[in-house]
């Protein structure tokens, strides 16, 4: 779980670097989307996750769900 006591940029960068195994990639992002969660979460694209060596997940199970639109991979 990613947590930091200070909202300053250096603390966040250090915490992210530790969480993402020392990989760095500078991107622009939306910090307040209005999405609420009970735990800290960072939502990134699969492409960015792969570049940060966070994807594909080891020992993960992927399922395809049928929806009213297109199939959803989860």
* pLDDT for position 41: 75
Whether pTM exceeds 0.85: no
3-state class (DSSP) for residue 22: coil
Q: Please, which residues have CB within 8 angstroms of residue 61's CB and are 6 or more apart in sequence?
A: none
- DSSP state, 57? P
Express each pLDDT in 22-66 by its tens digit. 666 777 766 666 778 888 777 778 888 888 777 888 888 888 999
């Amino acid at each position: 779980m990613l947590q930091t006591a200070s909202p300053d940029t250096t603390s966040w960068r250090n915490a992210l670097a530790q969480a993402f195994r020392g990989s760095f990639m500078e991107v622009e992002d939306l910090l307040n989307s209005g999405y609420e969660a009970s735990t800290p979460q960072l939502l990134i694209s699969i492409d960015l996750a792969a570049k940060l060596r966070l994807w594909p997940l080891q020992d993960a199970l992927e399922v395809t769900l049928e929806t009213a639109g297109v199939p959803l991979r989860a």
